[in-house]
Structure 1
Amino acid sequence: MVMLLMMLNIASIPAFAQSSAQMREKIQQEAQAYLLSAIGDAHGDDNIQVSIVPVDDRIQIPVCHTPFQYHADSSALTQSYISVRVSCGNNDWYLFTNARVARTRTVVVTSGLISPGTVLTSANLKLAEVDINQLRHTSYMSQKELIGARMKRRVRDGQPVQANMLCFVCKGDRITIRAQASGMQVKTAGIARQDGVIGDSIQVVNASSKKTLIAEVASTQTVVVHL
């Protein structure tokens, strides 16, 4: 009888261990899915990779008759390391599991070394996955929108192209000033007094009247004055 009980106990150990391992795996997978959803909602343009730290084998996972609940502080969702609270709704059990998060974005980077004053073409540019921590200024996701812009400083190969590196209209450029009012347009020649990228407001001088105006950069050759 004693021998039979010992055999039953030994036989039950692998089954329990396997169940516990399956529960840990389940928690890791669900925690990863939770974070991918939570971070993705806040960073729609980013590519997110989440690696969950394995749950310690010594931790026993209880039977939970309701789905496990997952929670991370919203302020932590921008960090590289995030702690996730895992709890069971029908008892007081909980644990914390940790995750490492990598965020990248597909942006335009330089193709080869680029010197100051270089006018960008498709040959100077390519797309690459870049860690968003390297992106301190406005970055670009399309090569086409950068064609014709000029580099203001030397840039190494593979560096993300950001707004602070270039000008679509550069100081001293001769440009077309387009004035718009009530559906009418007037064009005149002008000179840029400041560097600017598309969307920037810069000072320009009307070549005829010598009057200084504030205009919005519309392209590499045109600025717009809204009257």
Structure 2
Amino acid sequence: MKKYENFICRALFTASLLSVCLLKVHADDNQSYTPEQLTELAEVWVNQQFATADTDTEVQLTALDNRIGNKSCAHAPEFSLPANYNPRQTTVQVSCNAPLVWQLFIPARLTEWLELVVSRQNIAPGTALTADMLEIQRRERRLVRGAIVQEPALIVGSRNKRSLSVGQIISLQDLCLVCRGDIVTIQISQGGLAVSTTGVAQQDGSLGDTVQVKNQQSGRNISSEVVGVNQVRIKF
């Protein structure tokens, strides 16, 4: 009987020892992350999400509080953004499901920037814009209103309908690319044949607007689309 009891004791001891060893192996497989490391990994992940986008997005994360302590994970932590996140203020979720389930939320500020055309000087209404009056600056997208201009060459020669101040963002609504009384080029394209003639604009128009132009040869008013500075295209 004693011999049988000794066998059971040795078996229990061996099982306990094996269990401790297995726990140690699993513990060694886990990676410990400090709050600082998790914040850095989250910032790298968010930047990668916007790296392939056509927008210039700046990411600022609020660092995790060191008082939360280190977090262990059997695999790389997972990151995600809310499905319908605010484009300016959101949170990055950091989570893991082994050896323990945990998740953290890191506040993030996303700033989207645009390169756009602004006025280099005060410009009085009705001035024909020249290249030296314009420059490109980087501005926050949330501050931009209207149809912006990103290439100065597209509006050189147009006229502003209202006063422009130094540093003011220029939108197409501020300009007439075709102004009433201007001599404009009329482009006509149909069936692979392209010709052009001249006319007199009967009204102001910006890019994409439909304006009436009086054909100088026929004297007829023609409905046409503004496609550039002093350029229109007949709409068939």
Q: Normalising by structure 1, what TM-score? A: 0.80
Amino acid at match of 2:93: R
| Alignment partner of 1:142 is 2:151 | yes
Q: Distance in 1 between matches of 2:127 and 2:42?
A: 48
1:115-136 C-alpha deviation (Å, 9 max, x unpaired):
1111111110111111111211
Contact 1:176/1:221 (<8 A) preserved = yes
Q: 1:35 is matched with which residue?
A: 46
Could you give the per-residue CA deviations for residues 96-145 of structure 1, whole angstroms, max 9, x where no partner exists? 11011222112111101111111111110111111111211222222222
For residue 23 of structure 1, the aligned residue among 34, 47, 69 is 34
For 2:126 and 2:106, the matched residues in 1 are separated by 51
Does the CA-based 8 Å contact 2:172-2:207 persist in structure 1? no
| Paired position in structure 2 for 1:96 | 105
1:148–1:220: 8 Å Cα contact kept in structure 2?
yes
Shift of 1:210: 4.7
Letter in 2 for 1:169: V
Task: Name structure 1 gaps, 5 residues minimum.
Answer: 1-18
2:181 alignment partner AA: G
SS at match of 2:222: strand
- Describe the shift of the 1:40–1:196 C-alpha distance in structure 2 as closer, same or farther (beyond 3 A): farther
Q: Does the 8 A contact of 1:39 with 1:77 survive in 2?
A: no
Larger radius of gyration: 2
CA–CA distance in structure 1, aligned partners of residues 97 and 223 of structure 2: 60
Are residues 221 and 198 of structure 1, via their aligned partners in 2, closer, same or farther at CA, if it must alter by over 3 Å? same
| Residue 208 of structure 1, CA deviation | 4.7
C-alpha spacing 1:114/1:55, structure 2 compared with 1 (3 Å): same
Question: Which ranges of structure 2 fall in alignment gaps of 5 or more residues?
Answer: 1-30
Asked if 2 retains the 8 angstrom alpha-carbon contact of 1:197 and 1:217, the reply is yes
Deviations 1:19-75 (A, max 9, x none): 98x621221112212222334445x1x322111111112212321111111111242
Q: 1:87 aligns with which of 74, 92, 95?
A: 95
- Cα distance in 2 for partners of 1:52, 1:96 equals 11
Name the stretch that deviates more: 134-143 or 190-199.
Answer: 190-199
Distance 1:183 1:29 in 2: 58
Matched residues in 1 for 2:94 and 2:113: separation? 27
The answer on 1:75 being equivalent to 2:84 is: yes
Q: Is the 8 A contact 2:155 2:229 kept in 1?
A: no
| CA drift at 1:209 | 4.3
Name whichever of 51-60 and 134-143 sits farther off. 134-143
The change in CA–CA distance for 1:164 and 1:40 in structure 2 (over 3 A counts) is farther
**1:57 aligned residue:** 66
CA distance in 2, matches of 1:166, 1:39: 33
Residue 48 of structure 1 contacts residue 104 of structure 1 at CA under 8 Å; is this kept in 2? Answer: yes
